[in-house]
Amino acid sequence: MSVLETAGLAVLRSLDPETAHGLAIKALQSGLLPMPRAVVSGRLQTRVAGLDLPNPVGLAAGFDKNATALAGLSRAGFGFVEVGAATPRPQQGNARPRLFRLAQDRAVINRFGFNNDGAQAIAARLAHRPAGMVLGLNLGANKDSSDRAGDFAQVLRMTGASIDFATVNVSSPNTERLRELQGADALAALLAGVMSARDELLRPIPVFLKIAPDLSDVELAEIADVALAARVDAIIATNTTVSRDGLTSAQAHQAGGLSGAPLFEKSTRVLARLSHLTQGAVPLIGVGGVSSAQQAYAKIRAGASAVQLYSALVYEGLSLVGRINQGLADALERDGLANVAQAVGLDRDKWL
């Protein structure tokens, strides 16, 4: 991490978290932010759900909710970028404060509630996306919708022409009763609607499903069965957790979804369990607590074909992307693996 990046992070951490996040987005929009050197290696190139990725390290949804910083993010060294979540209509989300740093725990709690500019505005920005980046959109539902399942398909119809993949997000804990859509029957019906909308696109794209880390083994098995039957193209494991086990920070009592370091083991165990249940029939993307190359490699060896970051960037900055990719390339070389795909699932049984 450079001296400039260290100083910049210190300034941002002195501010209210949501204000700091807004400034980070503006810095990316400005084009003046120094970008880390991209790590290029044949060992890192991989193919996931039909998408050719220059490396397996992606940006998770939630950082650029409104797709306003695409140009900057396209130069940050990510293998793929996911923006959103987008809902059919603009939505203010929950009242502030709604974002909290837990520095002692290297974690973040958010209860944004799908605040976004709405699918129409976001679709207009996606239509002018930078060339060359692999770009996805997280699909959401309006809080006051009478047909939340239908909202997901509606957003896909409005935006699908300008994205490379779409993620069905039924696992956010910050929209009341949203997680009920993870039930087998509700999820099957929702996915059927989304897949039908996908098939209407001139260029059908992969559809991913993002799940919660707080599922029982029975619930996880049901979701795996539904996802396979619906033929989703990948599963993202996992979203934030409602658990507060082991936290020491003063803000640990705040309501919302917890992300960051405390989520690593829990999300990785869910990932490995899902890998076991699906037996390689659907690619998995590992999210939750990744802040080093070692942790990214652990997710991959537990069953992930790619990983995503978000909360760690609050503490480590954008240079973390390059450090993780370089560390992954070094680990693959050390282990005699020609490509990251060869490492997927090698340690899965250790997490079961």
Q: Domain limits at 246? A: 45-351
Q: 217-230 and 264-278 helices cross at what angle (nearest 10)?
A: 50
> Among all chains, which residue has been given the structure tokens 């503490």?
315
Q: Can you give the CATH number for the domain in which 218 is found?
A: 3.20.20.70
- At 246-283, the pLDDT tens digits run 999 999 999 999 999 999 999 999 999 999 999 999 99
Are residues 121 and 153 in contact, defined by beta-carbon separation less than 8 angstroms? no
Query: What sign does the dihedral 98-103-105-106 (CA atoms) show?
Result: positive
Using DSSP bridges, classify how beta strands 257-260 and 107-110 pair: parallel, antiparallel or unpaired. antiparallel
pTM score: 0.97
Residue type, 182: Q
Query: Count of domains in the chain?
Result: 1
Q: Just list the catalytic residues.
A: 172
Say if 25 falls within a structural domain: no
Say if 150 falls within a structural domain: yes
- At 40-85, the pLDDT tens digits run 999 999 999 999 999 999 999 999 999 999 999 999 999 999 999 9
Specify the higher pLDDT residue, 33 or 252: 252
Question: What is the signed CA dihedral for 3, 7, 13, 18, rounded to 10 degrees?
Answer: -100
Residue length of the chain: 352
Are residues 13 and 20 in contact, defined by beta-carbon separation less than 8 angstroms? yes
Say if 170 falls within a structural domain: yes
Cα 204-170-137 angle, rounded to 5 deg: 40
Say if 296 falls within a structural domain: yes
